[in-house]
Amino acid sequence: MICTKCHERAIISQRYSGQHLCQDHFIQDFERRVAETVQRNEMVKEGERIAVAVSGGKDSTALLFCLCRILAKRDVELVAVTVDEGIAGYRDDTIKAAKAIAERLGVELHIVSFREEYGYDLDEMVPGKKVAPCTYCGVFRKNALNRAAKRLEADKVATGHNQDDEAQTIMMNYLKGDFERLMRFRPWRAQRGLVPRIKPLREMPEKEIALYCMVNEVFTESRECPYANLSLRADVRDMLNDLESQFPGTKQSTVRGFEKIVAKAQGSYAQMDLAACKECGEPCVKELCKACELLGALKIRIKLSK
């Protein structure tokens, strides 16, 4: 297979675009598309400090590497933040990988842990996996990232969510019939206390992100989180992968279709004003933020089990 743009051997065939690309043209195409997403959505402004969430997995590694390249000539400062959830036999390796990529790129790295922020590792929060680990992990990770970004005086938080993640989240909310939540997924104005989040890789397929890491020699495959298969997301992921292989472009159209719905619905779904949590001061819709709510229930559960 020959590259559509030159006479080199192609390393990827993009079924959704009909292009075959060699290594150089794939890297160019990848970085151009990420730069376009950043520009079209006005994700980054001159003079800003961006906290990049780097878990050490392939998505966040590609994110940091790609942002360093596409923003190299702009007046934008990148700082990396790694959240250590406390997942034995998994997180230690990815933290090492996060340190290595940050060091290689000369980006300052800050590590925040669930244990330091909330008093428990994720493994202690979900003994015997009786409660949904990903629910706890997602809520506390968001909260920890927001707190860290504020401490670091960052203007934005960049996360490595890719097109697959976006399509999964949209589909999960469709399946749950949770339209309110779906609309909150794409906020259209800044909210008090919440450092704005950007997702520069949101239009990039997971497979291309893995390839981008491989050709740039920035990532070696690590094991999957031991909790990953316990969530609805895992089933939705498998379902979308099946559909994508039968009908190329399914994930892209899921995300693009959702963008059209958001554009039409803007204004019809008022975005809630956030208050400050009475326990920790983080933004929330009720009296307590979700993290303090879960933490309260967790403390009762631990007390009862003694």
Residue type, 156: K
Q: Which of 75, 76, 60, 65 is nearest to 27 (CA)?
A: 65
Q: Which helix (H) or strand (E) holds 198?
A: strand 197-198
Residue 259 CB, nearest distance to ligand SF4 (Å)?
24
Q: Which is nearer to Zn ion, 76 or 112 (CB)?
A: 112
Query: Which DSSP string do the residues of 76-99 spell out, in sequence order?
Result: -EEEEEEEE---TTTHHHHHHHHH
Least distance CB 137 / ligand SF4 (angstroms): 3
Task: Compute the half-sphere exposure of residue 63: CA atoms within 13 Å on the CB side of its CA.
Answer: 32
Site for Zn ion in 220-279 (CB under 5 A): 277, 279
Tokens 């800044």 belong to residue: 190
Number of helices and strands in the chain (H, E): 12, 9
Q: Convert 207-223 to b/e letters by CB count within 10 Å (16 or more is b).
A: ebbbbbbbebebbeeee
Distance from C-alpha of 11 to C-alpha of 22, rounded to nearest angstrom: 5
Q: Of the two residues 59 and 282, which places its CB atom closer to Zn ion in the complex?
A: 282
Distance in angstroms (rounded) separating the CA atoms of residues 274 and 283 = 6
Residue with smaller CB distance to ligand SF4, 37 or 222: 222
- Confirm if 53 and 160 have CB atoms less than 8 A apart: yes
CB 112, min distance to ligand SF4, A: 15
**How many chain residues are in contact with Zn ion, going by CB under 5 A?**
12
Min dist CB 24 to Zn ion, Å, is 6
Shortest CB 132 distance to ligand SF4, Å: 9
Rounded least distance, CB 72 to ligand SF4, Å = 30
Nearer to ligand SF4, 67 or 137 (CB): 137
CB 218 to Zn ion: min, Å: 21
Closer to Zn ion by Cβ: residue 29 or 164:
29
Residue 37 is inside which H or E element, if any?
Answer: helix 23-40
- Based on the shown chain and the rule CB under 5 A, indicate whether residue 293 belongs to the binding site for Zn ion: no
Region near Zn ion per CB under 5 A, out of 151-159, 174-182, 220-228, 283-291: 283-291
Tell me which of 80, 167, 292, 298 binds Zn ion, using CB under 5 A.
292
Binding site for ligand SF4 (CB under 6 A): 85, 133-134, 137-138, 225, 227-228
Residue 51 in contact with Zn ion, rule: CB under 5 A: no
At 156 the three-state DSSP class reads: strand
One residue of 3, 145, 211, 225 binding Zn ion per CB under 5 A: 3
C-alpha–C-alpha distance, residues 144 and 110, integer Å: 12
280 binds Zn ion (CB under 5 A): yes
Q: For Zn ion, which residue of 11, 12, 22, 294 counts as binding (CB under 5 A)?
A: 22
**Interface with Zn ion includes 8 (CB under 5 A)?**
yes
Q: CA 51 to CA 185: how far, in whole Å?
A: 20
Does 289 sit near Zn ion (CB under 5 A)?
A: yes
**Least distance (Å) from ligand SF4 to the CB of residue 133?**
4
Q: φ, ψ for residue 101 (rounded to 5)?
A: -70, -35
Contact 254, 170 (CB under 8 A): yes
**Contacting positions for Zn ion (CB under 5 A):** 3, 5-6, 8, 22, 25, 277, 279-280, 282, 289, 292
